[in-house]
Every structure is written in C-alpha cells, then in structure tokens.
Amino acid sequence: MRKRTLLKSGVAAITMSMMPLGAIADEVPYNLQDGQPYAGTKLNILSVVTPQFDGLMLRDDEFTELTGIETEWTFIPFGSLQEKINAEGIAANGTFDVVNYLDSWGPPNAHWLMPIDDVMARDGISMDRYPAAFARSAQFEGKTLGFPLRAHPQLMFYRKDLIPEPPTSWEEVIEIGKKLKETNPDVAPLALYYNNDGNRQNLFIWINFLWAAGAEIFNDDWTAAWTSEEALKATEDYIALHTVHGVTNPNSLAFVEQDARQSFMQGKSAMIPVWWWAYSGFYNPDSSTLTKDQVGFTGMPSYQGRTKTYAISMPFSISEYSGNKEAAWEFLKWLSNPEMDKANAVEREVAGKSIVNNVVTHISSLQDEDVNAANDGIQAAAWDSLKESDIMPQIPEWPEVGDILSAAIAKAAAGGDVRELMTEAAEQSNRVLKRAGRIE
C-alpha cells in the first residue's frame, strides 16, 4: 500500500501547462461547480495499483486548482483490494470518500455505494458515453453506482513471428496449435488458465464459448442454465482445448491469468486470450523477452460462427458513509471526463514520470485517431470486441455461485466428467439461490 501526499504548490506550473483552455477562462470545465464551494475539503481515494491510475493521480493538481479540493490516494494491489473493500463496508466509517472495485463486487456492496443518476442528470452526464457492457458493469438494479474508469475487453494476442495469420475461430486456434507443436515444439501453442484461484478467472474464456453457443448462465427464474445441451457442448469444447486437442500449455491447469501472461512474455506460449491492458507489458523489456515486432493482437476467436465476449470493469464510486459526498461528486466528474480519458492514453509522461497506458473507456476515445495512433490501433480492435460483449451476472450471490462454477471447470480440465460436474454445480447453485430467496 502506498499513499500520495504531494504538495500542490510544487507542481502548479506543470498543472497550468496541462489545463484545457476552458479552465483558464471564467467557465469552469468538466461540469464542475463555479466558485469552489468545497474548497478546503480533503478527499481520500482508494484505488487499485495500475499505471493508468498513476497517470490520473499525477494530473489531479488540476482538480485542486479548479475546485480547491485536496486529494490523497491510497493504492492497493488487486489481490488485496477485495478484502479492503469488504472491510470498508463493514466498518461503515467513511474512511474513504471514493472507492475503486471490481464490477462483480458491486452488488454485494451496493448498500453503501451512492447512486449517482440524479446528479448525472443534473449535470448533463450520460452513461451512453461508455460501451453498453462497460455502462452495465457500474449499475445495479436500475441504479448507476459509479463510472467504469478501468475497463477491459478481451483480445487474442499472438506471436507474429510464429503465426503469420492470426486465428479468427477456435477451430483455427486448434489447427494453428497442432501445426506449431510440429514446427516449434519448444513453444506451447496456447496459454490458458484453468486454475480455481478464488477470483473465478477460469470462467473468463469459458463464457465466450457459452454465449457464442446461444446459452446463458441463468434462466429467467434464476435456475442454472449451463446444463442445456448447447451449454454443455460449449463447455466440453472449452475443456477439450486442453484435454483432447492438447494445444494448451501443459501448465494451464495450474495457471492463473498472471501465470499465462508470464508464459507468453517468456516466449513459452504462442497465443493468449486476455485483457487488452496486457499489451504494453508483452513487449516491455523489463518484463518480457519479446519485442514489439513479435507481438500481434486480434479480436477474440469465434465459436460456432459467432463471437460474443466477456467485458470487465473497475468502477469508482462514492461511499454512502463519506461526509464529503458533494466534493466527491466533483472529483468523479473531473476524473471521468473524456479529455482526461484521451490524454491518459496518449501522453507518455506526466509530471516528470513515465506512464504507459492504453486503457480508455469512452466510446469517443476508442474511436479516436490520436488514441489509436499512440497505441498501435488496439482501441479499434477493442471497440470491435465490445460491440458483442456482456458482463457477469450482477447479483449479490454471484461470487458464491461463480466459485462453484470455477471449481467445476478446474476439475473438468483435470480430467473430470464435464457433464457430471456441471450438473452438480447447477444443483449447488440452485440451492444457493433458493436459500437467498431468488428461486421460489
């Protein structure tokens, strides 16, 4: 954990050089309130560790210049963030005014995250500025709980020096993989992550197969839908990448997402389906043995002629326990503005610090020529991926149900009977949701 306590006056000159023209004129930009009504307030921000948010933090002197509101950021590694969020909800003391969390953690914590629909309407802000899946990820039961400021589509990354034409379907992934095993036996064709890691990562690619097959996770009555024939066949095909076709890295049973990324960066796997933010790390000499010329990306492969992908986000929300809700809303407006979104993906140095970030969440940024030019066109590929994408179920019980599914997937990849395991998982899920009152 680390905290930021920079003195604002020490970087005022840098701040002024980055400020948009509107900020120098009488009109206050970003829909911020005139007259600095909350000057002197200090906001505490809880955030995950990432270069993207470092870039935002290093720009927030502009926010203080515009509003008189001070900020202090506390950064937590992702692996510890859920525990911290849960502790904040239990403590209910408003230690943090603004919190950052994974979208699937939103429903269990919705009771202490402030809905912002009314203030958005007042200040002329619409969630239509985000791709539909990103927007849904920050909403629960018809209420908007925050802004999806860190959000990810899935892409297929591949070794351009080993694979001249990237796969467009999972059938082609298998075909390419089998050829690579003959021509490059020291490099595994595909890095997947089947491990039951507690974060349900082994569902991230599985759900592409499920949705593309026309299947769903739940039926309308919240009973498990993954035991339909379409769903079971899709699950078998996902597992078969490892158990039948043998095109996955032999260590995929033990891999979590980070392990799979490391395998690709170390030149031990030739393809990996993963979040787009991983791109810069794949050719960073500090973390990878690959060069930029070796790393390519394309959309996620189709299954049965259709592509539908999983999208994820990490929204920022205002705590209901905060004593500074109005000032926190000013901060969220500034933090989420489209100009910031673009600048944070284009500028490679902020306040003297190198920042490499390709994550944007606004539709305008995904389609922006400058943003794409600065990031090798990855936003355009992401935008295509997001046109047919969805999110995990937004219900408080999802973490428990997701854990049941994740355990079944891990056992199946280890050689278990897919149909028996998924049927058993469905029975467990139905019991969980009946106990919760969701199933009658």
Identify the CATH homologous superfamily for domain 154-310+397-435. Periplasmic binding protein-like II (3.40.190.10)
Q: What is the pLDDT of residues 61-91, one digit of tens each?
A: 999 999 999 999 999 998 899 999 999 999 9
Cβ neighbours of residue 273 closer than 8 Å, sequence gap 6 or more: 154, 155, 156, 157, 192, 205, 208, 300, 301
- Mean pLDDT on 1-16: 36
pLDDT higher than threshold 60 for residue 434: yes
pLDDT higher than threshold 60 for residue 240: yes
- Mean pLDDT on 296-303: 96
235: helix, strand or coil: helix
DSSP-derived secondary structure for 369-425: HHHHHHTTTHHHHHHHHHTTEE----STTHHHHHHHHHHHHHHHHTT--HHHHHHHH
pLDDT higher than threshold 80 for residue 7: no
Torsional sign, CA 9, 11, 16, 19: negative
CA–CA distances in Å: residue 245 to residues 236, 294, 417? 12, 25, 16
C-alpha–C-alpha distance, residues 102 and 121, integer Å = 25
| Average pLDDT score over the chain | 92
- Mean pLDDT on 252-269: 96
pLDDT band at 199 (very low <50, low <70, confident <90, very high): confident
pLDDT band at 20 (very low <50, low <70, confident <90, very high): very low
pLDDT higher than threshold 50 for residue 12: no
C-alpha–C-alpha distance, residues 336 and 30, integer Å = 9
Identify the CATH homologous superfamily for domain 2-151+312-384. Periplasmic binding protein-like II (3.40.190.10)
Q: What share of the chain is helix, strand, coil (3-state, %, to 5)?
A: 45, 15, 40
- Contact (Cβ atoms closer than 8 angstroms) between residue 156 and residue 301: yes
- Mean pLDDT on 217-228: 97
The angle, 0 to 180 degrees and rounded to 10, between the axes of the packed helices 398-413 and 229-243 is 50
Instruction: Report the candidate in 115, 133, 103 with the shortest Cα–Cα distance to residue 394.
Output: 103
351 or 26: whose pLDDT is higher? Answer: 351
Residue 33 tokens, joined: 């309130």
Residue 86 tokens, joined: 């849960």
Fold match flag (2-151+312-384 vs 154-310+397-435)? yes
Residue 294 tokens, joined: 């070796």
E strand segments, 97-214: 98-100, 139-140, 143-144, 147-152, 154-159, 188-190
Residue 435 tokens, joined: 């106990």
pLDDT of residue 26: 59
Enumerate the domain spans of the chain: 2-151+312-384, 154-310+397-435
- Mean pLDDT on 19-28: 52
pLDDT higher than threshold 80 for residue 23: no
**Residue 152 per-residue DSSP state:** E
**Residue 148 per-residue DSSP state:** E
Give the number of other Cβ atoms within 10 Å of residue 439's Cβ.
17
